[in-house]
Chains A and B, each alone.
Chain A
Amino acid sequence: MLTMIGKRLMFAIPSLIGVVIVTFLLTRALPGDPAAYFAGPAATKEAVEQIRKKLGFDKPLIEQFFRYANDLAHGDFGTSLTTGQPVATEIRNRLPASAELTLLGLIVSIAIAIPLGVLAATRPGSWIDHLCRVTTTAGVSLPVFFTGLVLVYVFYFQLGWSPAPLGRLDVFYSAPPTITGFYLIDTLIARDFEAFRSALSQLILPATTLAIFSLAPIARMTRASMLAVLASEFVRTARASGLSPATVIVTYAFRNAMLPVITTLSMVFSFLLGANVLVEKVFAWPGIGSYAVEALISSDFAPVQGFVLTMAVMYVLLNLVIDILYGVIDPRVRLEG
């Protein structure tokens, strides 16, 4: 098992190197001159040139790259020009916010989508099957910024049930001491239940927004793969042996049907993590998505490169976790190292 994990991580190294090179080149190829941007509109040519020299942009591309790679090797992601903060610190602060939001959204989505898909598959043509179809169609066809805004409008503006969509905590509370970076967990560890409630109430709306969006692929996949498995011969054997419907559906059908669903989950998760910029914007969430977009707009190279690299690493780790999960469920893949 450990050798398998080690091997997989080794295989990821070339792709990570590729990501480093491509992001470096892409950011350089983007239109916009960071030196001019920071010098301001009134700056003289000399001032811009001076800034460029200071930032090292006057050096040949290859030298810039090696400096960048060398810094990376020492754990230095560079410094953001807009905020003046080291990129590594900012990502470390912002990544948990995005991860907490995405994870909670995904958990909510799984909790609804998988039972819905299973029920729809076991009762095709019933009202629950139609409900599944309607929910999933609605889920994909409503853009996240729209569902986000509607939720804010209804639950904050009209009903007043949820707090103002302004970040991770209500202004009256201070952030808990950072242990995991997840406010829900950190507040519990600090036994600050008031802050926990506040963090949760801030999370509910954006997490629901994400859940509605990610519901569709998971529910559809669950339904389709359950239907296929239920029609298979070993389920017929199980039925012919008189096993109870619960055993047939859970032990025989569901575990087999989970395999493609897990693959879908990993895709949905990595997609959400990087692509929930809109949700972060609507809810003023201090996540990495909004950080990266802001940096991109101001031609701030270091954060963009840092963001892409972080996402690549996350993706590698996520895939590893999925592969391990696969091995746990399906004995057939265990042998392939």
Chain B
Amino acid sequence: MTAQPLLDVQDLTVEFTTRRGIVKAVQHVNISVAKGETLAIVGESGSGKSVTSYAVMRILDRAGRIAEGSVMFSGIDVKAASEDQMRDLRGREVSMIFQNPRAALNPIRKVGDQIEDVLRTHVQQAQVADHGEKAIEALEQVKIARPRERYHAYPFELSGGMCQRVVIALALACNPQLLIADEPTTGLDVTTQKAVMDLIVELTRRRAMSTILITHDLGLAAAYCDRVVVMEKGRVVETAKAADIFANPQHPYTKKLMRATPRLGVSLRDLLPEEEGASQSATVMAGLDPAIRHPSQDSSQSMDPRVKPGGDENSKPLLLIDKLVKEYPRQGATAVLGKLFGRKPPVEPEVFRAVDGISFSIGHGESVGLVGESGCGKSTTSMMVMRLLDQTSGRIQFDGEEIGSIMPSAFARLPLRSRIQMVFQDPTDSLNPRFTAARAVVDPIMQLGDIRGRDALRARCEELATMVGLPHNLLDRFPHQLSGGQKARVGIARAIALHPKLVILDEPTAALDVSVQAVVLNLLQDLKTSLGMSYLFVSHDLNVVRLLCDRVIVMRTGRIVEEGTSEKVLSDPQNDYTKELLTAIPHPPLPVH
């Protein structure tokens, strides 16, 4: 960094005008990126990392403005530049890759045309045919197979990973000097994430480009970047070389973030900051006076989850799934197109097997992780157990009763229904925005429970709130007035309101920041121990599954490829696919305690 940096951000403050006055999203931030350097900006939601990058591109929305400081990009003052100058820079000198690739592409325009739009704007070559060839070339470089055909594809016809490749092709089409990647792999599977990140690094290295990687994932930052900038609440708290920052974090926030990142060799408690670890557990226990426990929750079931529940062999498992199959009629685009043009469809099996004959069981008080990438059938399986979907064949036995034959519509009215509950992926979307937290929590009791009367319901609601560590004064708030972690707690309180025996957790922490995730995972673990519930934990994140689950089931294309105790599957995987999943996880070089 002896030469003049490519990008130099000095004392940047960004303000947003809102109804409640001016909010400073970014305050006095200093960041510089040298030529050819890869810089990571790491922080949790609300840290201002995205806003900083928008300010660099000057694409802040109407309410936002650069209030103070300067942004210099290869000698150009971004703050003072005219809109025309900026437009010339964007896409040609600085370009950006966004989170959620599918939404980042125009849904009704061919991807090739979208790349061509950028080329046409920035490359002064009159020939139109030339642009078409260049667009195909751009697709080729991001390793899209059959680029000539894909040129004519619409975003909805491509997978998420493929869309992100198109977005990268779009961003790199004009050979910019700086690439800003804003959470480029959030929402993608680990193996896809690895492929996409490797591609970005390879392409930018080859062109000697600088890259800013904005992420919440410390592992990703460590694996791919030279330097790391840690941001908290709109300020930079630490800047250091990637190797240094992980070996020797200076700022307490950096330390907290690192602690909270799930990784090999640590237990759930290790994720929490030292002083909070004990108090968290204490809160949950305080809410659990044995006297208020439901009589059906026999105390003999609340055992230490670390003790293998499979010990009592003679007892029946809580959930038994036998040769479960779910088939969908195949409605591929090719078949429909073939019909339209009167052509014979290619010979394909008539049906698509989302779940292909899987069998497994969950014991009382056991938690089982169902792991796999999108499309592997893990969510379909959990939906069938919940009786939200009807299976094609196979049996589902819950607590000794056959529930596989119950129609999904009839199941909701059965008393059995209250014993299986679910916590959903998105804490915001899974709460009714017109219900207060208290109303959401008591909703299942009002549908299926036996508690009647305002006061009794309120008492039960407060009791549940105590259990999940939700302050009582928040109970009368609406979802939009709660933070992500608080909403997750409401979702959990709702799920345990009816004393379920089995709780299906569908990626319950996927939408949360790592520090909140650490707290929620610990909460789930404590609740399980004290209430004696079993969990079916559906997730794509092996590290998280390992922390919470006794056993792990790895699924791929509707089948179980590996099954075993968490420790064994993660430390000594047998199946190639499991190995691939494990190696795809970027590991931060963290000091292991």
Contact = CB atoms under 8 A, between A and B. Distances in A.
20 contacts: A233-B100, A233-B104, A234-B103, A234-B106, A234-B107, A236-B104, A237-B96, A237-B167, A241-B95, A241-B170, A242-B91, A242-B92, A243-B117, A243-B118, A252-B109, A256-B107, A330-B107, A331-B108, A331-B156, A337-B339
Given A232-B103, A241-B118, 15 more contacts: A3-B340, A4-B340, A233-B103, A236-B98, A238-B117, A239-B59, A240-B96, A241-B90, A242-B121, A243-B87, A251-B109, A329-B108, A331-B154, A332-B107, A332-B108
Contact of A242 (B88, B100, B154): B88
Interface of B: 57, 59, 61-62, 86-92, 95-96, 98, 100, 103-109, 117-118, 121-122, 154, 156, 167, 170-171, 333, 336-337, 339-340
Contacts of B100: 233
Contacts of B90: 239-242
Interface in A284-337: 329-332, 335, 337
A237 B105 contact: yes
Interface residues of A, number: 28
B124 to A, nearest CB: 14
A126 B62 CA distance: 13
Contacts of B118: 241-243
B88 A252 contact: no
B121 A241 contact: yes
A73 interface: no
A251 B117 contact: yes
A191 interface: no
A53 interface: no
Contact of B156 (A231, A243, A332): A332
A239 B170 CA distance: 12
A1 B105 contact: no
A89 interface: no
Interface string A172-212: 00000000000000000000000000000000000000000
A242 B106 contact: no
Contacts of A4: 340
Contacts of A240: 57, 59, 90-91, 95-96, 98
Contacts of A247: 117, 121
Contacts of B333: 335
Interface of B is mostly: helix
B98 A233 contact: yes
A242 B87 contact: yes
B98 A237 contact: yes
A255 interface: yes
B98 A244 contact: no
Contacts of B156: 331-332
Given A4-B340, A240-B59, A335-B337, A234 B170 contact: no
Contacts of B105: 234, 237
In order of increasing CB-CB distance, the 6 nearest A-B pairs are: A242-B91, A242-B90, A241-B91, A233-B103, A240-B96, A237-B104
Interface in A204-254: 231-234, 236-244, 247, 251-252
Contact of B106 (A3, A231, A238, A329): A238
Interface string A1-30: 101100000000000000000000000000
Contact of A234 (B88, B104, B171): B104
B181 to A, nearest CB: 12
Contacts of B103: 232-234
Contacts of A330: 107-108
Given A233-B98, A234-B103, A256-B108, A335 B336 contact: yes
Nearest to A241: B91
A82 to B, nearest CB: 49
B91 A244 contact: no
Contacts of A237: 96, 98, 104-105, 167, 170
Nearest to B331: A335
